[in-house]
Amino acid sequence: MAPHRRRRTSRSTIGLTLTLALASTGLLAPAAAAATASGGGALPAACPAPDARPTVWILDERTTVPNRSAWGGCTINDLIDDERTWASKGAFLRHLTAVTTRLRNKHLLNGREQGRLAAAAARSDIGRGRGYETVFDGTAASLSKWLQAPDGSFSLQPDGSIRTVGGLGMLWYAGRDYGDFSLRLQFRDARTDGGYSNSGVFVRFPDLRTPLEERPPGSCGTIGSARTSPAWVAIYCGHEIQIYDGPTGEPQKTGSVYNFGTIGLDRARPTPPGTWNDYEIRVQGQHYTVIRNGEVINEFDNAPGKSSSRASDPPTDLRQFARGFIGLQNHGSGDVVDFRNVRVRDLS
């Protein structure tokens, strides 16, 4: 069934309305409000998907400052807005000063914490490169750039998340492939019957639209089920970064590089069903880093010569791709997982 389409007010309109409202209440300086109105940027719009990390981050650097709730459903991390592409380092530093001053005036930061954030921002590379590109923002328009392969589906929810339906299949972003990248999203186990859901995030797999006869002979896409199922091309050629917090059943827990770099619950940092989690998968060269709620829970080197724990799967020798696509797994009818706020930063 096609996802239900609903009209949404544009983010620019929401952002401008909220910015002017904040300015009128003293939460945002008039100069910053004017910068936002002219495209300069200040505070983001209301945050239906607040940052789940417990401490404040300045792009890739974690600080010790607590990530407190602020206003508009936003946390401090959301208000800092470090993920966007900034025109210059100076523009971001001016924005950070304005935001942290407001936070301090509202007793959400103290002077020492404000100084820590300013120091971290000064060390950062923000303004010297591209920020994150949002590839799913909760709208039907952004979801239309994703393709289902082949079974099950994802349904667009009223809160702007997407929910797994049936399986085994995968929803993948067909807009572009990535070399080195940081992929960030939020997920939650939405199962309500007392069980735990299985899902995963697939990375670095080839274009699933390539016909079998055009794939290199003997490659991962010409083996077993990959010959007839696009989802198995991703399973055999890329890597699945597991999502599963159940104490029993599937032994490979959240953060595992499926069948190659397994971790247990002692490292997975599980959360109860219904809890939104921040998930980052960073791939640089053939090194994989998995970060959950701001904590590194797994690292894996995709070096040649490593065999899968499942005998039928190709070894790492056939998974040496420098670029690839990303996808979200729908695992089975009993597994219910929600995803939202999917964005990617090119690190190539």
> pLDDT by residue (tens digit) across 50-93?
998 999 999 999 999 999 999 889 999 999 999 999 999 999 99
- Provide the Cα torsion 100, 59, 183, 79; round to 10°: 10
Residues 223 and 118 in one domain: no
Looking at the structure, tell me whether residues 94 and 236 fall in a common domain: no
Answer yes or no: is 4 within a domain: no
99 and 80 both lie in a single domain: yes
The predicted model gives 149-167 an average pLDDT of 95
Domain boundary among 123, 144, 162: 123
Mean pLDDT (the chain) is 89
pLDDT band with cut points at 50, 70 and 90 for residue 4: very low
CA 315 remoteness from chain centre: 27
pLDDT (mean) for 191-196: 96
Same domain? 83 vs 48 = yes
Q: Choose the final residue of a domain: 90, 123, 156.
A: 123
Residue 223 and residue 79 share a domain: no
Q: Establish if 2 belongs to a structural domain.
A: no
Q: Give the structural domain span for 94.
A: 11-123
pLDDT at 266: 97
3 in any annotated domain: no
Residues 101 and 199 grouped into a single domain: no
pLDDT at 22: 36
Q: Which of 29-33, 165-169, 344-348 is predicted least confidently? A: 29-33
What pLDDT was estimated at residue 44? 58
Rounded to whole angstroms, how far apart are CA atoms 314 and 306? 9
Out of 41-45, 74-78, 235-239, 340-344, which region has the weakest mean confidence (pLDDT)?
Answer: 41-45
Q: Distance between CA 223 and CA 314 in Å, rounded?
A: 8
E strand or H helix at 292, and its extent? strand 287-292
What is the rounded CA–CA span in Å between residue 229 and residue 17? 47
Q: Are residues 51 and 141 in the same domain?
A: no
- For residue 290, tell me if it sits in a domain: yes
> Residue 13 contacts by C-beta under 8 Å, 6 or more apart in sequence?
none
Q: Are residues 232 and 308 part of one domain?
A: yes
- Structure-token pair, residue 191: 């199962």
pLDDT of residue 45: 61
Residue 5 belongs to some domain of the structure: no
Residue 83 counted as domain residue:
yes
The label of the residue with tokens 């010297």 reads: 128
pLDDT tens digits for 101-144? 999 999 999 999 999 999 999 999 999 989 999 999 999 999 99
Q: How many domains does the chain have?
A: 2
Report how far residue 239's alpha carbon sits from residue 310's, in angstroms, rounded to the nearest whole number.
13
Query: Per residue in 305-339, pLDDT tens?
Result: 999 999 999 999 999 999 999 999 999 999 999 99
Q: How many angstroms separate the CA atoms of 41 and 116, rounded?
A: 22
Per-residue pLDDT, 46:
82
Confidence of residue 258 (pLDDT cuts 50, 70, 90): very high
pLDDT of residue 7: 38
Give the mean pLDDT of 186-210. Answer: 97
Same domain, 220 and 318: yes
Q: Are 103 and 193 found together in one domain? A: no
pLDDT band at 38 (very low <50, low <70, confident <90, very high): very low
pLDDT attached to residue 34: 34
87 part of a folded domain: yes
Residue with tokens 């999203």: 185
Would you say residue 256 has pLDDT above 70?
Answer: yes
322 and 174 inside one domain: yes
> Which among 123, 149, 172 is the end of a domain?
123
Contact 166, 333 (CB under 8 A): yes
Asked whether residue 35 falls in the same domain as residue 143, the answer is: no
Query: Do the domain assignments include residue 307?
Result: yes
